[in-house]
Structure formats: structure tokens, C-alpha cells
Amino acid sequence: MFKKIIAASTAKSPWIYHINTGSCNGCDIELVAVLTPRYDAERFGFKLAGTPRHADIVVVSGPITSQSKDRLIRTLEQVPEPKVVVSIGSCPKSGNVFKGSYSVEAPLDKYCKVDVSIAGCTPKPEAIIEGLYKAAQILKEKREAMNK
């Protein structure tokens, strides 16, 4: 009974945990803009989580630096299953302008499965909302598969 109540209450309110792995903060600013009243991603149920243990969707921005790689992996291990990983911007996908640097260990998909990749440097808020919506759909499918 409690599992049904929990499943129903969490279905429409995915919580997001954001990890910056060495970015220029362009993507971070756009992600914050998405959560403000102008774009209002909260109308779709998205909320920022204060800890990875409460998150459903993990948003990663920035090229994965040597210094942030271990923290990223530990953080992703703390997120309960089912989880969805979203890369935002060009940096987690390819390293972008930081590619080839001595301290960059991109791409993100070397360390975890990336479910949604939002392209751009920096992506527009509308693209971020669309990517988060896709992530929510994937999360729903993963939850349904777990409950079977």
C-alpha cells in the first residue's frame, strides 16, 4: 500500500540535483534561469534537491576535470535507482573548448550512462526544459519497469 502511495506522489515531481564538473558557469546560469518564474520549470514539477540522495534526475554541466571526476562518481553512486543522468551543454559530451587540456577527462559517458544530452554552448532555456521533460519521461519508464 505504501509503495503505491509513494509511487503516485513522486510520479509528477522529479527532483533535480545539479553537479558542476568544472564549467564556465554558462550552463549553470541557464539552468537557474529555467527554474525562475520567467521559464518556471516548476510548473512541470521539477524541483532542485539539496542532496543527491533525494534526487531523481542528475544534471551535469562542464567538462569532467581530474579534480571533479571522483566527486562526480561518488555523487552518482548516492542517487537512488531509478535515476536519469542529463548532460547539459557541449562540455560533458566532448570537452568543448577545454578538450585536450591536461586536466580534462571528458566525455561524461566514460563514467556513467547518459540518458539525455542537451546540446549547445550554452543551451537555450527552452532546450533545457525540453531535455528535462524527456528525462522525466525516461524516469517514468524506468520506474514502471522496476515495478513490474
Q: If you classify domain 2-146 with CATH, what class do you get?
A: alpha beta
Q: Alpha-carbon distance 106 to 65, whole Å?
A: 7
pLDDT tens for each residue of 100-113: 788 888 788 888 88
The structural domains of the chain, with segments of one domain joined by +, span 2-146
Q: What is the pLDDT of residues 51-85, one digit of tens each?
A: 999 899 999 998 888 898 899 999 999 998 899 99
**pTM of the full predicted structure?**
0.86
**What are the residues whose beta carbons fall under 8 Å from the beta carbon of 44, sequence distance 6 or more?**
129, 132, 133, 136
